[in-house]
Amino acid sequence: MRKILWVLFFVLVSNVMGQAGETLLVPPLKIGSSTFKYWGYTQYVYSSTKDSGVSDADFQVVRPRLYWETPGLWGGMAEFELAKRNQSGDNWLRHLVVNYGGWTFGKFFVSPDPTQPYFALETVKYPRYPYGFYAWGARFGTELGKGWSILLDATGPTDLPPFSDDSFDYLVVGSRLTKKLKADGCIIGSVRVIKVELSSQLSERFSRFSFNFKAEDVGHPEFRLRGMAHVATEEDGPNKWGAWLEVLYRLAPAVDSHIRYDYQKDSEGDDSLIATFGAQLYPFKGKLKNLLSITQDIEQTFLGDDNDTLFWLRFQSEF
C-alpha cells in the first residue's frame, strides 16, 4: 500500500504541474525541428478467489513512453516495462520503433491484434484471442479509400525477451483489414455497426484468423458493443476456436459498466465460458481525469474443470 500511495502522489504532482501538456519530470523538448515527448502509466492489480481466498497484489505495469516527432514523415517511440526490468526472460522492452510515412521498423505491437492498448482497456484482463503482442519486424499501413485501410507486417515470433537469439527464428506475416462505416453506419435494428475488421497471422507453425466489430446503439449514445470470432491451428498445441461479446454502458459521466462473455474450445475437447461483470470509475474530473481510474471485475468461469470465481481490482494512473 505504501508503494501505491507514493506512485499516486508522484502522478498527482506530475499532472498538476503539467496541465499545459508537460510532465514534471520530462517536459517536451525541441531540438531543431524535432520534438521529444514523454508519457506513461502504472497499474496496481489485486486479485482473489472466492473459494480458496488466495490473494495477490503487485505492480503489474510501470510503463514510460518516449516519443519523437518531426513536422515531416519521420517519428519514433520507445516503451519500457519497468515493473519487469529485473525478471530474467521477460519482455521489458515493449516498443522501439522508427516511423517513416506509412512504414514502421523495430519492435512493435503486431498488426493482427485489434484490441485496444492496455492503458485504454475497460476491463482488468483482455478477452481471449489467438495473437501475441510484440515482435521485431517491419510494418506498412495505408488508407485504401472509402473507409478501407490495411496494416501488413513481417516479423519474427512474438513476446520473446527483447534481444533473444530466437527473435527471427521464423517468419510471421500478419495483416489487419479495416472498414470504417459512414456516420450513419450499418443499422441493424437499433444498433449501428461503425467498424469491422478481418485479421490474420500466418507462419510455418500456425495459422490464425479473426473477425471483429465495433457497434453502438442509435437510441442510446452511451451504449457500445464489441465482439470477435477467432480460429487458430497450431503446430505446437491444440487447435482453438472461440468468440467473445462485450457490452459497455456509461452509467454516469465518471462511471462505465461492462459485461463480457468469452467462449473458447480446442481440438482436445476442452471448452470454457468466462463471464466478466464490472465497472470503471474516474474519481477526478477535467484535466485530472486520468490521474486515477479504478476498475473492478467479477470473473466467473463456467464449463471445464475450473469453475472458480475471481475478483479483480485495478488502480491505474497516467503520468
pLDDT above 50: residue 13: no
Residue-range definition of the domain harbouring residue 216: 2-26+34-318
Name the DSSP class of 26: S
The answer to whether the beta carbons of residues 158 and 126 sit under 8 Å apart is: no
Domains in the chain, number:
1
pLDDT at 17: 40
Distance of alpha carbon 292 from alpha carbon 301, whole angstroms: 29
User: Which residue shows C-alpha cell 473459494?
Assistant: 51
pLDDT at 57: 59
Give me the amino acid identity at 46.
Y
User: What span, in angstroms and rounded, lies between the C-alpha atoms of 265 and 11?
Assistant: 42
> What is the pLDDT, as a whole number, of residue 92?
86
Residue 27 CB contacts under 8 Å (≥ 6 apart), including other chains: 18, 38
Distance CA 303, CA 263 (A): 10
What is the pTM (predicted TM-score) of this model?
0.83
- For residue 86, the model assigns a pLDDT of 57
Q: Which sign, positive or negative, has the C-alpha torsion 38, 39, 44, 47?
A: negative
Name which residue leads in pLDDT, 72 or 168: 168
How far is 248 from 280, CA to CA, in rounded Å?
Answer: 10
Averaged pLDDT of the chain: 84
CATH of the domain at 126: 2.40.160.10
Helices (H) and strands (E) counted in the chain, each on its own, are 1, 18
